[in-house]
Amino acid sequence: MEQYIRAIAGLFILLSLGLGHWVSPYWYLFTAFVGLNLFQSAFTGLCPMENILEKVFKVKKG
């Protein structure tokens, strides 16, 4: 699960950086959102993407 979350976070960051450069600078706000979620999950252990993946693929933690 952790590898998927890291891959998705990296993809979101790269995608939003590209969109911010070529489409609109407002996409950088999405980059900041992903970064803030990564930062808070390091301290709290709460990860919204993990909850989403568990519900979509019906996978249990651990």
- Distance of alpha carbon 21 from alpha carbon 7, whole angstroms: 21
* Domain extents in the chain: 2-57
pTM (whole model) above 0.75: yes
- Distance of alpha carbon 33 from alpha carbon 18, whole angstroms: 15
Chain centroid to CA 51: 12
pLDDT tens digits along 39-62: 999 999 999 998 888 899 886 665
pLDDT tens digits along 13-26: 999 999 999 999 99
- Distance of alpha carbon 2 from alpha carbon 10, whole angstroms: 12
